[in-house]
Structure 1
Amino acid sequence: MDKNIIGIDIGGTKCAVILGVYGNEIHILDRISFLTQTEKGPDYTLTRIIETIEEIVHKHELKMKDIFSIGISCGGPLDSDKGVILSPPNLPGWDNIEIVDILKKRFGVPVKIQNDANACALVEWKFGAARGYSNVVFLTFGTGMGAGMILNGQLYNGTSDMAGEIGHVRLAEYGPVGYAKTGSFEGFCSGGGIAQLARMKVLEKIQAGEEVSFCNDIKELNNINAKMVFDAAKEGDKLAIEICDITGAHLGKGLSIIIDIINPEIIVIGSIFVRAKDLLWPKAVEVIEKETLWTSSRVCKVVPAGLGEQIGDYAALGVASIV
């Protein structure tokens, strides 16, 4: 029998409450999102989450007794066993927020939390591109770069719930900053990191008196984002293609580390990779072929997220499905 479940996706920019049904598959019934407005603090957002849960349940003529469970997907660090959000860098002021207890007391249903990378790994493993595999790595590759890992058929959290912080690994001495570290995997392979890299390269061109198709002058530097770079690359812009090649090469470096250390069957990559695989993969695979042990790389597939752009919604529902 299908069960009604609720997912909560908490991000630094936006939050979403998702109503779904869970049986052999997960289906999204409805979704309501709102701006997180981190400057207003966690109490404001928690109130909005509670109000939105009540709104979506009422909208579908349900009652909380009809809801099987609630799942929360949120960036770390957090303590998934105790249900506490510790201090995510994208949620300033969210220190030791006992969100699971708060929602349990309010709604009287089981509540579970996982960091967003783990949540995505779980849902891709159960319902997406990694279904049927035992050793899986999921990479977020969006606002940040983090990994969720299914090892020997079980989610791996690590000793202090911090496994998978691959974005913190330094890939180069110099480069874009990500996870507060210059030249990190997150610096090269995240939306903000790609924008930083593009600004560096564009500034060099403008100072040399050269034109750039996606930035007319220095005043527009801060407007550059990853999407602009990808759009320009698709139109054949040489600088944009160079930026994509640099990003792809460092993606290959990061993947090579994962392949050699974890020896997974499949690596699933979300967000930016779903949209820009064709621009990034050629350089990435060149590096993988050079850097990895052949016995490990030959048994590892690298694919975009099977659940596509909605993976964040499915991830939150996926956490609810394992309560």
Structure 2
Amino acid sequence: MPNREHVLALDIGGTKLAAGVMDRGGGLRSFVRTPTRVEEGPDAVVARLLALGREALTAAGHRPDGMAAVGIGCGGPLDPVTGRVLGPPGLPHWDDVPIVDLVTAAFGRPARLENDATAAALGEYRHGPWRDVRHMLYLTVSTGVGGGLILDGRLYRGAAGNGGEFGHVIVDWNGRLCGCGQRGCVEAYASGSAIARRAVEALAGDEPSSLRDVAGVTAEAVATHAAQGDPLARRIWDESTAALGRAVAVMINMVEPQLVVLGGGVTRAGDALLLPVRRAALGQAMRPAAAAARIELSALGDTVGVVGAAASAFLHLDEGANT
């Protein structure tokens, strides 16, 4: 019989896929990951995701029929009711992918799809070290930028299940074109892919930079060279943290959270990201909201997507049991 104390969790990102088996208390029994390779198309990526899920089960010493459910986290837009992915900017050609049906058929267990950043917010809230927090905003800064909300201790999903698309907060209404089709979104400035792209554009000019010696410029490389004093990298990094800080200030004014948690791959830069974003956000937010909020880095690190997908699956199981 299925064990209601364990779920399989799958995390679909534009850069990496991850999977793991988690117990109800937040203990990860396994955690594996692999590059997404979006250029290979949805069919190949889904096949790799399912194989990774089987690898996670094997590593945890479990079989699919021992799982209560499968939790799936993926960037939006998506439809959690029908279990379909509806063309996220970071997943080209994923225009109508029935991911829940595919996962259910592969593992023989009920599956639940949740916006990845919404799920991550739940995972961070339930299994991070944040005590006595009832209002929390989670922001993931990775290939794209997304987020999730905990309001009065409850996960906020929104009317269509995609609440928390904070990457598309406008920081410059006449600014850079975003993958969503709008201009000036914070994702177009502060996501990992945008930071790298802006650095490459800057390198097309004549300005000297140590980044010219880097094969395949990434956001991590920009952060590293900025810290080493490279002027071009410093400018790109400062613009990115300023845009992110402004967006966080807008969110703080709107929601008035006690805690803002920053996660995702770009936050591996640590204080080089946290400190300027914190300074900008709290300096620009309205005084009462700023006084009530603190801004911290994720406690769950690279596992937050899997922990969040698992937490979402457990929440869905519990909600079903209570209806």
Contact 1:274 1:309 in 2 (8 A): no
RMSD: 2.7
Q: For residues 1-323 of structure 1, what are the structure 2 equivalents within 5 Å?
A: 3-20=5-22, 22-24=23-25, 26-58=26-58, 60-173=60-173, 175-179=175-179, 180-204=181-205, 206=206, 210-215=207-212, 223-272=216-265, 274-322=267-315, 323=317
The answer to whether the 8 A contact 1:129-1:268 is kept is: no
The 8 Å contact of residues 117 and 139 in structure 2, kept in 1 or not, is answered as yes
TM-score of the pair, normalised by structure 1: 0.85
Shift in Å, 1:2: 8.3
3-state DSSP of counterpart to 1:162: coil
**CA–CA separation in structure 2 for the residues paired with 1:199 and 1:181:** 22
Contact 2:29 2:60 in 1 (8 A): no
Partner Cα separation in structure 1 for residue 129 and residue 203 of structure 2: 36
Is 1:149–1:156's contact at 8 Å kept on the other side of the alignment?
Answer: yes
Show CA shifts across 1:46-81 (max 9, x none).
444444444543555533332122110111111123
- Change in Cα spacing, 1:243 to 1:320, as seen in structure 2 (3 Å) is same
Separation in structure 1 between the aligned mates of residue 58 and residue 302 of structure 2, nearest angstrom = 27
Change (3 A) 1:201 1:93: closer
Change in Cα spacing, 1:282 to 1:175, as seen in structure 2 (3 Å) is: farther
TM-score of the superposed pair, with normalisation by structure 2: 0.85
Aligned pair in 2 of structure 1 residues 260, 69: CA closer, same or farther (>3 Å)? Answer: same
Opposite residue 186 of structure 1, the aligned amino acid is: E
- Give 5+ residue unaligned stretches, structure 1: none
Is the 8 Å Cα contact of residues 124 and 131 (structure 1) preserved in structure 2? no
Q: CA–CA distance in 2 between the matches of 1:151 and 1:191?
A: 28
Q: Distance in 2 between matches of 1:185 and 1:163?
A: 16
CA deviation after TM superposition for structure 1 residue 296, in Å: 0.5
SS in 2 for 1:6: strand
Aligned length: 313
Alpha-carbon separation, structure 2, partners of 1:16 and 1:241: 32
- CA change 1:198–1:174 in 2 (3 A) is farther
* Residues 143, 193 of structure 2: 8 Å contact kept: yes
Taking the aligned partners of 1:13 and 1:286, their CA distance within structure 2 comes to 29
Identity %: 31
2:320 is matched with: none
Q: For each residue in 1:257-306, what CA deviation from the matched residue of structure 2 results, as whole angstroms up to 9, or x when unmatched?
A: 00111111111111245322422344434433442111011011111011
Letter in 1 for 2:257: P
